[in-house]
Amino acid sequence: MDIFKLNSSREFLKRDEKGRAYWKLVNEPVAINPSQSALLICDMWNRHWAKGATLRAGELAPRLNKIASFFREKGLLIIHAPSDTMDFYKGHPARERLLSSVSSMPASFKDDREITEVKEYPLPIDDSDEGSDTGEDKGEAKIVWVRENEKIDIDTEKDIIAGDEGDLIRAYLRFKGINRILFAGVHTNMCILTWRTFGMVPMLRRGFQTILLESYTDAMYNPGRPPYVSHDEGTRLVCSYIRKFYAPTSDFSV
């Protein structure tokens, strides 16, 4: 498995020659060692309570499947993490691979203490209405998904399947010597960032390196809420926010 380069971006708060603050975009390649890296596909369900989210996930799924195949061939571990759907995957080889491995590994790999302080900052978008852009009220938010989107393939011999089980994922990654996670899926401002126990911030707090694949993610945002921009612009704002305060993003695509 050969090391390859992935373009990445961060933003840093600087001051110009007149002392005025501005955000400086810095692009640099990151060396990806396949044996030490994983792609985590977050909450790409077969259905969502918001019609707009269902439609966008359906459009994203084939592209995400393509990049998952690309990274799998490169030698990265693929983690399918469709939260709340583990009943569907009971007995699945990729699910059993995770469960049996973690149950038999030494306790040292299961140590789940936070080791790094990560400060949280206010989001650049208002998602207090749960972010539907197709008219559903946040009172309609409920679990309607039962599995990962059917357009995403699961390799029964290589991949793993996990729910909202950050402790299991972290133990498995430590056991495999994996310290970098590429994040893709939905939703950028919610589950990918902080809502899930396997999200970027929880992983950063346990010492993992993270990168957001911004071409393969989507925010949960209603343009009728501040800052009153398009849905796509809302997603771009969240990606920019992540590379300012948390981790690099990459516009890599295949």
The amino acid sitting at 212 is L
What is the spatial distance between Cα 65 and Cα 71, in angstroms, rounded to a whole number?
Answer: 10
- pLDDT in the model for residue 58: 97
* Distance from C-alpha of 187 to C-alpha of 191, rounded to nearest angstrom: 6
Is the pTM of the predicted complex or chain greater than 0.85? yes
The structure tokens listed for 159 are 């991949």
User: What topology does CATH give the domain 33-250?
Assistant: Rossmann fold (3.40.50)
Residue 175 DSSP class? H
Closest to 136 (Cα-Cα) out of 229, 199, 47, 60: 47
Main-chain phi, psi angles of 30, to 5 degrees? -115, 130
DSSP assignment of 107-174, as one string? Answer: GGGG-----S-------SS--TTTT-SSS--GGG------SB-TTS---TTT-EE-SS-HHHHHHHHH
What's the pLDDT score for residue 1?
A: 77
- Please state whether beta strands 21-32 and 4-15 pair in parallel, antiparallel, or not at all (unpaired): antiparallel
Using CA atoms, how far residue 22 sits from 9, 15, 121, 219, in Å, is 16, 6, 18, 25
- Rg, C-alpha atoms of the chain: 18
| Helices 93-104, 166-176: crossing angle, 10 deg rounding | 80
Question: How confident is the model at residue 25, as a pLDDT?
Answer: 98
Assess contact for 70 and 36: CB atoms under 8 A.
Answer: no
- Report residue 73 as tokens: 């061939």
- The candidate with the shortest Cα–Cα distance to 102, out of 9, 190, 175, 47, is 175
Mean pLDDT by groups of 10 residues along the chain of 254 residues: 94 97 97 98 98 98 98 98 98 98 96 96 97 95 97 98 98 98 98 98 98 98 98 98 98 93
Residue 182 pairs in a beta bridge with: 39, 211
Distance between CA atoms of residues 47 and 56, nearest Å: 10
Tokens standing for 185?
């899926």
Q: Tokens for 215?
A: 């071409």
- At residue 57, the pLDDT reads 97
Non-local CB neighbours of 111 within 8 Å, separated by 6+ positions: none
Structural domain spans, the chain: 33-250
